[in-house]
Amino acid sequence: MKVAVAGATGLVGSKMLQVLEERNFPVTTLIPVASEKSVGSRVNFRGREWPVVSMSTAVEQQPHLALFSAGASVSIEWAPRFAERGTRVVDNSSAWRMDPSKKLVVPEVNSHVIGPGDMIIANPNCSTIQLVMVLKPLHDRYGVSRVVVSTYQSVTGTGKKAVDQLMNERKGVQGEMAYRYTIDLNALPQIDVFMDNGYTREEMKMANETCKIMDDEAIRVTATCVRIPVMGGHSESCNIEFARTPVLEEVRALLAGFPGVCVLDNPGELVYPTPRIHAADHDEVYVGRIRMDETRPNAINCWIVSDNLRKGAATNAVQIAELLVSKGFLNTI
């Protein structure tokens, strides 16, 4: 099986290569793809050095699968070209997520939507993925009506430039700025650009993508997304309101029984998830601080943490690829 990874030299692309290797995905030929300035460099995969090529070269090689993490503009231009040559594309950018003709997939939540005609499949926003992993089992039981979520997102979600800014600031070194403001010892209540309604694009992504993945436009989601100086994963403080009254013991059991979710919830022993200690380098979505909202009869509060580079991006994309294999849509030529 020939597998192309677009953006192979970036944070998410590098993580995709790591996850492909860890999960023993059936790659026989790897085609690492990056910008022209990286062409000719090499990446390591399964103990072998593979040369980085351009998009046009990768298309000509007609891979069976292409994992994209190279930005929306690149995906808009190149994903259809791969698809036209028979390559299945899993795209990690925002390019296709809200396109009604494209599926937006979290395998544990809505794997059933993928069909044989889906040549380009969208990988959701990282903060949306961990949210719907918690919402799904609770929605099936109680009916989610409204979600109020505040995110505390890692600098790794912006990319290497943001990580470098944080590290430079901690060393007192002047360098290139990913953000307008200092990020070290700070919190920035802006992720992506502001929209006309006063929300950022990230906040509207969470609202719109959640409804599409859950296949329920009646779920109301309102978000505030904040960048903080951490690495290891994104955290979310969630208030979830239901159509029916939840029972906390059952809520914990439903979440603990859902694939990919880990409940860490024992406040008496100070047990709750954190990005650095629990989520970093893991694929699980961790949830804790589960408690009733004492101001609303049918609502709970909880705290959700997940590694944004793994389940929030690379691992979810590889899981989609594994679904394509299991459904017989990635048969080798």
Phi and psi based region of residue 198 (left: phi greater than 0; alpha: psi -120 to 50; beta: remaining)? left
- Would you tell me how many other CB atoms lie within 10 Å of the CB of residue 311? 26
The set of residues, in sequence order, having a beta carbon less than 8 Å from that of 112 and lying 6+ positions away, is none
Active site residue 302: no
Determine contact, residues 215/112, Cβ cutoff 8 Å: no
Determine which one of 64, 139, 225, 234 is catalytic: 234
Q: What DSSP string describes 30-85?
A: EEEE--GGGTT-EEEETTEEEE-B-HHHHHHT--SEEEE-S-HHHHHHHHHHHHHT
Active site residue 126: yes
Structure tokens given for 54: 């351009």
* CA–CA distance, 93 with 85 (Å, rounded to integer): 21
Residue written as token pair 């299945």: 88
Q: How many CA atoms lie within 13 A of 170 on its CB side?
A: 11
Length of the chain: 333
Sheet architecture: strand order including 220-227: 220-227, 144-153, 234-242, 299-306, 285-292, 261-263
Residues tagged active-site = 126, 234
